[in-house]
Amino acid sequence: MPKSDSEWRAILSPEQFRVLREKGTEPPGTGEYNKHNQKGVYHCAGCNSPLYVSDTKFDSGCGWPAFFDAIPGAIVRHEDNTFGMKRIEICCANCGGHLGHVFQGEGFKTPTDERHCVNSVSLKFHDK
């Protein structure tokens, strides 16, 4: 059963709520996981579902954690036309929390040619 806003506010920090539930964005270069390089799994900060493995993380220089692929079935994609741009929003498949956006065809030397640009505040890291 989906949580109400008051239930989410009780378990998330104000910044996590703003990003995960209200589709906000943290300022570039400020996130805890932007330059994070430990081996492990990144989980949703809202529901703790596993989303990304560290082997898919790369340094894109964009100011947010970047991954070239998610754990199969972990995320859902939605077209996002806010701010006059056509983007692909990514959300946790389990709780619907906003994670960030996917950008394609930027020429990074990754297996998918995708950059999942994810807000650090949307994530929790667990060592392997």
Which positions are annotated as active-site residues? 117
15 sits in which H/E element: helix 14-16
- Residue 40, C-beta contacts closer than 8 angstroms, at least 6 positions apart: 53, 54, 125, 126, 127, 128
Q: Bin 19: left if φ > 0, else alpha if -120 < ψ < 50, else beta.
A: alpha
- How buried is residue 46: exposed, middle or buried, by Cβ count under 10 Å (0-12/13-18/19+)? buried
